[in-house]
Amino acid sequence: MQRRFEIGHCLGKGGFGEVYRAVVHGSGGLEHEVAIKLLHPDLLHNEVARDRMRDEGRLLSRLNHPAIVTCYALTVVANRIALVTEFVHGADLSVCCQMNPSIPQRALLQVVGKMGSALDLAYNTELADGQRMELIHRDIKPGNIRVGHHGQAFLLDFGIARSDTMERNAQTAADLVVGSLLYMAPERFGPKGAVSASDVFGLGCCLYEGLVGTPFYGTSSLRDISRLSNESEHFERFLQQRMTDVSDKVPKSIQDLCRSCLQHDPENRPTAAQLSAECERLSDELGGPNLRAWARSQQWPDRPGSPASLTGQTLEECPLPAPGETLQALLPDLHINEGMAQTTAYVSLTEQDTWNDEDGVLLGELAPSVVSSDPVQSARAPRILASAMSVLAVLALIGGLGAFSIALLQRWSVDASSEVPTIETVTFQNEPRAGIVIEEEVRQPTPVQTPSKAIKEVSKRRRSGKPPAPKFESPEPSPERSEGVIPTKEPARVSLSDVTNTGSVPIELRGKGKTFRLPAKVPFGSYWIWADRGEGFVRSTQITLNPGDSAQVICTLEKTRCSYRLK
């Protein structure tokens, strides 16, 4: 007997689809309440989207934890792929943080602790081949944490979770960063991407938002967050400033825990298991209502969500297509909308922004737009457009150089007997000591002359055959120069930064096409720190030097990432 779903209110909508509350009628007259996640109608033809939902169901079915919802089925309902999971009466943590009064500190710690325990299990679950699952959620945020009216807490939405050891149908392109911007860890914007500590950073953001009431990154833009992510010193100052918004009534131990989860270096954050244990310890020391008591005292909505297109309908399930099989093969009468779906599931660094890997800076703002449901297809059009714009820019540059050359030739032809013009050059000393010397051409001022007199004088000299008058006066000898040297150039100094190696391994700074072996005097700018721990130089951390700075770089064999101190 095929199951029937009595569809209730819509609980939420996202880039991939909608989530409804429903009652499922099964064999033997059994009924139970579920949450049913339906793929967006415009994504039914999208194999990547279907595979992602299939992967989410497979992941959930392998995880058995009190803080992870139970997956009941992966099927087809209303001609759409559907994931059927346990329904939790309650509200998202984002709603709990905005209540008046908001969720108390003790209950908040218990929620974060349960999430840390769930993440630890998801990462360390053993597969059939003996390997760990090493699952990374990649979208930890208050909106994906559900607080139940009996004091439960659940981690939701594993749609973009990643496991490198588990076989998956869907693959994320290497140049895509997926997740929610305001809760992304700094390393998500770098070459390494998401690691298990990235989820701990997300929990740190949840803890901060529960304590303060606003997101950790506030209203920062994509550009601001990417700059913070690639400049550890700048991020540290930002963290210190944001922590001042935490109330003095919050115990220092909780503030320290929140700060440790929000560290720029993922190695300086606690593991998910350590975070869970610390939250449990601190919650036991605090007074006030625990999560269960607080949840039972709240007035939870009886019918959460709002009516939507499927609300009130009773629908039967259909067979699920096998991987690679289309829904049209099972449902010949199915009409698929080939239009574009509004989705925010993908943020591509090469699609809408320019990523400079050498300097580690994200250039260009992410403009709100309608992105194709297929990340592969959506990435092609912007790249073709970018290529065309690059070609146009090159052509414009060539045209500008050509026009400049013609104008220069015309000027020489009018005044062929005058002095040969001097071309300004910039040269660098081979071995700078106190700074890089940039030699700049110094020209003497042109005599002041009215336009009418100048034109008459030039015409008179040309008719008489005399050479044109010189344009510039001869420079006067400078008393500061030695005799016999023409003082035509003045040095302009650019200060260098003293950068020392206080670690135990060889270190180099690389950037702007140059390499500096430490200790060295380095021009100000942004560089990548490269360390040799016995297997060749490997890129580690970015450092930004400002004029007048000096720095100490520390790289050791024990840590995989380098650190530095600016003076």
Flag whether pLDDT at 386 surpasses 70.
Answer: no
> Considering only 147-151, 161-165, 168-172, which range has the smallest mean pLDDT?
168-172
Return the pLDDT at 16: 77
**Over 60: is that where the pLDDT of 372 sits?**
no
Say what the pLDDT of residue 321 is.
67
Q: What is the mean pLDDT of the chain?
A: 76
pLDDT confidence of residue 258: 98
Provide the pLDDT for residue 467: 52
Lowest mean pLDDT among 84-88, 344-348, 506-510: 344-348
On the question of a cis peptide bond just before residue 487, with omega within 30 degrees of 0, the verdict is no
At the fourth CATH level, the homologous superfamily of domain 1-87 is Phosphorylase Kinase; domain 1 (3.30.200.20)
Per-position b or e across 411-431, b if 16+ CB within 10 A of its CB: eeeeeeeeeeeeeeeeeeeee
The pLDDT assigned to 524 comes to 81
Rounded Cα distance, 158 and 139, in Å? 8
Q: What is the Cα Rg of the chain in Å?
A: 32
494-566 CATH fold: Immunoglobulin-like (2.60.40)
Residue with token string 């003095």: 248
| In the chain, where the domains are located | 1-87, 89-163+175-300, 345-404, 494-566
Query: What is the distance between the alpha carbons of residues 232 and 209, in angstroms, rounded to a whole number?
Result: 22
Using CA atoms, how far apart are residues 564 and 531, in angstroms rounded to an integer?
Answer: 13
Q: DSSP secondary-structure letter at 385?
A: H
Q: Which two tokens stand for residue 497?
A: 């930064």
* Mean pLDDT along residues 388-411: 68
pLDDT at position 324, please?
A: 56
End-to-end CA distance of the chain, in Å? Answer: 73
Confidence of residue 274 (pLDDT cuts 50, 70, 90): very high
| Higher local confidence (pLDDT), 55 or 197 | 197
Instruction: List the single range of 322-326, 369-373, 522-526 with lowest mean pLDDT.
Output: 369-373
> Which pLDDT score, from 0 to 100, does residue 330 have?
46
Fold identical between 1-87 and 89-163+175-300? no
Does residue 169 surpass a pLDDT of 60? no
Q: Is the pLDDT at 208 greater than 80, yes or no? A: yes
Cβ 551 vs Cβ 567: under 8 Å: yes
Contact of 257 with 269, CB cutoff 8 Å:
no
CA 458 to chain centre: 63
Tens of pLDDT, residues 297-355: 998 876 678 899 899 999 999 877 666 555 544 444 444 443 333 333 333 333 333 33
pLDDT at 284: 94
CB burial of 31-45 (b: ≥16 within 10 Å; e: otherwise) equals eeebbbbbbbbbbbb
Query: Any idea which of 107-116, 263-272, 312-321 has the lowest mean pLDDT?
Result: 312-321
Residue type (1 letter), 375: P
Please give the pLDDT value at position 163.
Answer: 87
pLDDT at position 179 is 86
**What is the rounded CA–CA span in Å between residue 542 and residue 520?**
17
pLDDT at residue 104 greater than cutoff 90: yes
Q: Residues near 260 by Cβ (< 8 Å), separated by ≥ 6? A: 204, 268, 269, 270
Q: What topology is assigned to 89-163+175-300 in CATH?
A: Transferase(Phosphotransferase); domain 1 (1.10.510)
Q: Which long-range contacts (CB under 8 A, 24 or more apart) does 332-341 make?
A: 334/44, 334/79, 336/41, 336/44, 336/45, 337/41, 337/42, 338/42, 338/45, 339/42, 340/42, 340/370, 340/372, 340/373, 341/15, 341/40, 341/42, 341/43, 341/373
What is the full DSSP assignment across 96-132?
HHHSSS---HHHHHHHHHHHHHHHHHHHH-B-TTS-B
Give yes or no for residue 422 having a pLDDT over 80. no
Max avg pLDDT among 209-218, 414-423, 474-483: 209-218
Token duo for residue 337: 């909308």
Mean pLDDT of 162-166: 81
CA distance 567 to 241: 20
pLDDT at 187: 94
**Contact predicate 298/149, CB 8 Å:** yes
